[in-house]
Amino acid sequence: MKKQLIIFGSVFGGFFLILLFLPMAFNGKVDTIVKSETNKKLNATFNYSKLSISLLRNFPKATIELEDLSIVGVGEFAKDTLVSAKSFQVVVNLLSLFGNSGYEVSKVVLDRPVVNAIVAKDGKVNWDIMKPDSTVAKTDTTPSKFHLKLKKLAIDEGRITYNDRKAGQLLTLNKFSGTLSGDMTADVTDIETQMKAEKVSFTMGNIPYLRDANIELEANLNADLKHSKYTLKKNKIKVNDLEASLDGWVAMLPKGYGMDIKLSTPALAFKNILSLVPAIYANDFKSVQADGKVSLEGYAKGQYSDSVMPSFKVALNVINAWFKYPNLPKSVTNINLQLIAENPGNRLDQVQLHVPKFHFEMGGNPFDLSGNFSNLLGNTAFAMKAAGRLDLGGIKDFYPLEAGTGLTGLITANLAASGTMGQVQSGQYENINANGLLQINNMNYKGKDMPAVRIPQAKLQFSPKYAELTNTQIIIGKSDISADGKLENMIPYVLKNQTIKGTLNVSSNNLNLNELMASSTTTTSNKSVQTTAFVVPKNIDFVLNAKAKKVVYNKFDINNLAGQIIVKDGIASMKNVQLGIFDGTITTNGSYSTVDPKKPAVDFDLNIQTASFAKTFVSLDMVQKLVPIFENVKGNYSVKMSLKSLLDDKMNIDYNSLLANGLLQSNNVQVGGVSALNSLATALKNDKLKSFSTKDLKIPFTIAEKAVNVKPFDVKIANYTLNLGGKTGLDKSILYNGKLTLPPGTPSPLGINLSNIPFQILGTFSNPKIKLGTAELGKSIANTALGTAKSAVAPKLDAAKAEAQKKMDQIRADAKAKADAILQAAQTQADNIVNQAKNPFAKIAAKKLADETMKKAQQKANDIIAKGDEEALKLQVSK
C-alpha cells in the first residue's frame, strides 16, 4: 500500500510539474501567434508588456494573459488610446494549438479596461481598425487560423467613454462590470448578459440628460448571429431607482442599425422618477416620501445611420406630485411635468424636445419653466421661459442642507428667449427675442469651511443683444464687491460655450483674495498662501475697470489699486494698473497668460517708487533668493524694470526662464550687518565699510541664468568711494570685483602708496572670501620696493660703487619699462574687449576675460621686474 501511494504521488507530482512547466514550451509560439494574427487584422498600434500561459487556472484549458494591453489609433486618432487594460485573459482549448484547424477561444476576461470610442466631426470613427480583406490578401496569402468560438466575455471595473463630436453626444460609464455568455459558434443562440455601471452621464447638444447615475442591466437575447439580429426576451433595466424593460429587436445592417423597440414601466411611481434628480438621489433618498400620478412610455422604430434617424418618442407625464423628507416640516407640492423627446419622421432635422409645462411650489411660492427645442441636430430653434420666486430661507424646510449651512434671501425671475442657434452664431441678435429680469435680494449663505456670502442686491436685465448688470453688491467674508456693466453674447456662451464679451466696472473697499481663492489655506501675517495657477478662460472677452482701496493677496497688503484689466484669449493684460505696496507705489503694464495652462507666463514693465527695502524682502520670495542683501538694508528705493518669466502650477517663478533688467535708485540707504562687507572691512582695515549710510545710489542690473548681474556702480562712504560690480546666484553664491578709492593725502591702510585698492569678493553671501591685488596693486608694490632700495644704498656708494649702481639702476629701469609696456598693452586689449561687447550679458563675459588678460600680464610684468632686480643684485655682490 505504501508503495502504491509512493507511485501515485510520483505520478501526480510529475503530472503537476508537467502542467507547471509545459506552458514554457508554448510561450514563444503563442506570443508569435498573438502578435502576427493581430498585426494581420488591425490598422492600429497593438502592444502589451508581458504574455504568460497557465494550465492550472482553467484546467484542462490553457489561460493566456496579456498584461498592460493597449490599442492606439493611427492617422488622425494617433494620440487617442482606443482600448487599454490592466490585464486581458483568454481561455483557449489547448489541443487546438497542435492542429491547423484554428484556435478555439471559450472565454475572454478584461480587467479594468479603459475604452475611448470617438466619432470625429467628419464622421470617421476610431474603432474602425480592422483591415479590409483585400488588404490582408495582398499582404499575406496565408489564411488566418484564428477561429473565435467564444462562450463567455467578462469585464471588471472598466471605464467607457463614447464621444460623438459630430452629433454633440458624450456618454461616460465608470466602474463598468458585466458578463456576456452564450454559444457564439452557433448560428442561433441565447445570450445572457449582466452589466452594471456607476456615475453614468449622458449629454447631447450641451443638455445633460443623465448625470452620475447608477445603471444595472439584466437581459436574455435570442441572437441570430448569422443575420446579426438580436431579439429581446426577458430583460430589466434599472437607472437609479427607475426600473423598466424593453421589448423588440435590434439588427446590425451593412450601414447602421435597424430596430423596433418599445419601453415599458410596469411598476412606475413618482419616487422612481425623482431618483433621476442627482441632488435628491444622493441625499438620503431611501427615506424620501413621494406620491403622484406618473406615466413613462417610449419606442424607437426604423434605421439609424449617419444620415437616417429612427422615429422615436419618449414621453413623461407627472400630475399633482409631491415629495417630503420625513425629518423636515414641509413638502414640495403641486409638481406637474410634461416632457416629450421625439422624432416623428426619419430625418435628423426632425428631432425635438418639448417641455410644455414644469411647475412646482415651495412654501406657496410657485415656479414655472417651459421650453421647446426643434431640429436638435441641426439649426436648433428654441423658445424658453422661466418665471417665479424662490424663498431661499425656506429651502431648509424642504431639503436637508449640510450641517452648518445657513441660507436666506429671495430670487425673482421672469425670463424669456426665442430664436435659432444659427441666429446666435451669426450675431443676428435683432432677430432673437430675449428679455427679462433676474434679481437677488438680501441673500445670505454660510457653508462649512468657507467664508459667509451676502448679496444685498443683484440685478441682471436681459435684452436681445446684451445682459446688463446693475446695482450688484456682494460681500464674501471680509471682502466687498460692487459691480455693474454689460455682458454680450450671453446666449451662445450658455448654450454653445462660445465667447462672452462685455465691460465690467468692479470696485471694492476691502478685497481679501486669500479668502476667495478656492485653493487657499488659512494664513498668518508671516506665512504665504498655497495657491494654484489661475487659468484665464479663453471664452471670456472682458474689459475690467477695477478699483480697490485695500487688497490682501498671499503676504501682500495692497492699497489703492486702480487700472484696467483686459481679459481675452486666455490672457489677462494690465493697462496702467497702479497700487500701493511695500510702503511705496507700483505702476505696471503687462500680461499674465495661460494660453498654455501648464506653463503660465508673465511679462511686465514695473515702475516702483519709494518702496521699503525691508518690506520688499519680507514679502517677496524672489528677493529673498536673488537679492538677500535687502534684509540688511534700511531705507527706500525706486526701480524701473522689465520682467519675463514662466510660472509653475503654484504660481511660483520658474527661475530657469526668468529674465529681467532695470535700474535701482535710492537717496536713503543704511547698510549694516552684511558678512561680505564685514570681511572686506577687515581685509582693508577700514571699519567704515561695516556700517554706513549713502545717497545718490544707482545700481543697473540684469537677471538671467538664475543670477542677478550688477554692472559696476559707486557707493559714497564718508570720504571714500567704493566701486562694485558682479553677480549673486540663486544659490547665494557671490562673485564681485571692486575698488576702494581713498581721498587725496589719506594713508593707505595696507602701508603702501596706493589710492585705489582693488579686491574681489567670492564664496557665498553668508561665508564670503576676500582677495586683494590686481595690476595696480602689483605696480605700486614694485615701484615702492625700487624707491626704497635706491634711498638705502645711495649715501654709502663710493665712486666705484656709483658706476655699479648706475648699471643696476639701468637694469631695473629697463625691466620696469618692459613691464610697463606689457601692462599698457594688456590694458588696451582689456579695454577693447569690454568696449566691443554690445549687450549686458556679453559685457559680463567680456569683463571676466579682460580681468584674466590683466592678471596674466601682471604676472609676466612681475617676473620681468623680479629678474631685473636679480641681475642688478648680482652686480652689487660682485663689486
In terms of Cα–Cα distance, which of 235, 211, 236 is closest to 222? Answer: 235
Domain boundary at 137, 166, 195, which?
166
Residue 70 within any structural domain of the chain: yes
Note the pLDDT of residue 102: 60
Note the pLDDT of residue 149: 61
Residue 683: all three cell numbers together: 581685509
Residue 543 within any structural domain of the chain: no
Please indicate, yes or no, whether residues 291 and 157 belong to a single structural domain of this protein. no
Residue with cell 431607482: 241
CA distance linking residue 382 with residue 361, whole number of Å:
25
Please indicate, yes or no, whether residues 25 and 162 belong to a single structural domain of this protein. yes
Residue 426 within any structural domain of the chain: no
How deeply is 131 buried, as exposed, middle or buried, from its count of CB atoms within 10 A (0-12, 13-18, 19+)?
middle
Note the pLDDT of residue 77: 82
In terms of Cα–Cα distance, which of 402, 386, 371, 367 is closest to 437? Answer: 386
Please indicate, yes or no, whether residues 273 and 370 belong to a single structural domain of this protein. yes
**Could you tell me the residue range of the domain that residue 357 belongs to?**
240-382
Which positions ≥6 away from 47 have C-beta within 8 Å?
Answer: 69, 70, 71, 72
The β-bridge partners of 602 are 592, 645
Residue 857 within any structural domain of the chain: yes
Residue 132: all three cell numbers together: 479590409
Residue 178 within any structural domain of the chain: no
CA distance linking residue 726 with residue 760, whole number of Å:
9
Residue 79: all three cell numbers together: 494620440
How deeply is 645 buried, as exposed, middle or buried, from its count of CB atoms within 10 A (0-12, 13-18, 19+)?
buried
Please indicate, yes or no, whether residues 162 and 66 belong to a single structural domain of this protein. yes
Note the pLDDT of residue 22: 43
In terms of Cα–Cα distance, which of 647, 645, 651 is closest to 519? Answer: 651
Please indicate, yes or no, whether residues 153 and 27 belong to a single structural domain of this protein. yes
**What is the count of structural domains for the chain?**
3
Cα-to-chain-centroid distance, residue 235: 45
Q: Name the strand (E) or helix (H) holding 799.
A: helix 799-836
How deeply is 59 buried, as exposed, middle or buried, from its count of CB atoms within 10 A (0-12, 13-18, 19+)?
exposed
What are the percentages of helix, strand and coil residues in the chain, rounded to 5? 25, 50, 25
Note the pLDDT of residue 19: 40
Which positions ≥6 away from 550 have C-beta within 8 Å?
Answer: 508, 509, 510, 511, 557, 558, 559
Residue 493: all three cell numbers together: 456662451
Please indicate, yes or no, whether residues 25 and 133 belong to a single structural domain of this protein. yes
Please indicate, yes or no, whether residues 145 and 265 belong to a single structural domain of this protein. no
Q: Name the strand (E) or helix (H) holding 776.
A: helix 775-793
Please indicate, yes or no, whether residues 284 and 378 belong to a single structural domain of this protein. yes
Residue 766 within any structural domain of the chain: no
Residue 751: all three cell numbers together: 602701508
Please indicate, yes or no, whether residues 150 and 246 belong to a single structural domain of this protein. no
Asked whether 814 and 770 are in contact (CB, 8 A), the reply is no
Residue 122 within any structural domain of the chain: yes
Residue 429: all three cell numbers together: 441678435
> Peptide bond preceding 208: is omega within 30 degrees of 0, i.e. cis?
no
In this prediction, the residues of the chain whose per-residue pLDDT falls under 50 are: 1-22, 24-25, 135-139, 519-530, 774-797, 877-879
Note the pLDDT of residue 874: 64
Please indicate, yes or no, whether residues 133 and 275 belong to a single structural domain of this protein. no
Q: Name the strand (E) or helix (H) holding 421.
A: helix 421-425
Q: Name the strand (E) or helix (H) holding 289.
A: strand 289-304
Asked whether 198 and 159 are in contact (CB, 8 A), the reply is no
Output the pTM of the full model. 0.62
Domain boundary at 146, 166, 186, which?
166
CA distance linking residue 728 with residue 623, whole number of Å:
11
CA distance linking residue 680 with residue 682, whole number of Å:
5
In terms of Cα–Cα distance, which of 667, 655, 754, 679 is closest to 715? Answer: 667
Domain boundary at 166, 191, 220, which?
166
Note the pLDDT of residue 777: 47
Please indicate, yes or no, whether residues 18 and 155 belong to a single structural domain of this protein. yes
3-state secondary structure of 549: strand
Please indicate, yes or no, whether residues 154 and 253 belong to a single structural domain of this protein. no
Residue 470 within any structural domain of the chain: no
